[in-house]
Amino acid sequence: MRAIVQRVPSASVEVEGRIVSTIGPGLLVLVGLHESDSGSDAEYICRKVMQRNYEVLLVSQFTLYGILKGNKPDFHVAMAPDKAKPFYASLVESFRKSYKPDAIKGEIIFMFSWPISCF
């Protein structure tokens, strides 16, 4: 599992021109799921992020496991969507159980106009 954590004054997720989730001052966490991730990986990320007293916006981001093969991006090591959706939902629930439930927002986003993550 990979996570990019960014402290933000505010953050939101917009889908088709409609805001579906928003937080005030807090942490924006982009979460990439690997095909071999397990519950212990989710618990580890939850413990690391929840050491602060912030609102948290979790956003599924499969491109964190993208690699370039020639000129084409390859996402074969990212968890497949049929497995990723329930796994991500359980990750969001883990965050809610270990923190203030109303401070955790989670969105599954699989559609981007330019999916790219640079390291």
State the chain's mean pLDDT as an integer.
78
Q: Would you say residue 49 has pLDDT above 50? A: yes
Residues 22 and 19: their CA atoms lie apart, in Å, by: 7
Read off the pLDDT of residues 65-100 as tens digits, 9 standing for 90 and up. Answer: 877 888 888 887 888 888 888 888 888 888 888 776
CATH number at residue 105: 3.50.80.10
Which structural domain, as residue segments, surrounds residue 82? 2-118
CB crowding 16-36: b at 16 or more within 10 Å, else e: eeeeebebeebbbbbbbbbee
The total of structural domains in the chain comes to 1
pLDDT band at 114 (very low <50, low <70, confident <90, very high): very low
Q: What is the mean pLDDT of residues 47-63?
A: 79
Annotation marks residue 63 as catalytic: yes
Joined together, the tokens standing for residue 61 give: 């981001």
Any idea which residue has 């982009």 for tokens? 30
Read off the pLDDT of residues 59-68 as tens digits, 9 standing for 90 and up. Answer: 888 878 877 8
Residue 1 has a CB neighbour count (10 Å cut-off) of: 19
Read off the pLDDT of residues 7-17 as tens digits, 9 standing for 90 and up. Answer: 889 888 887 88
Residues 36 and 115: their CA atoms lie apart, in Å, by: 22
Give the active site residue among 4, 34, 41, 63. Answer: 63
| Amino acid (one-letter) located at 13 | V
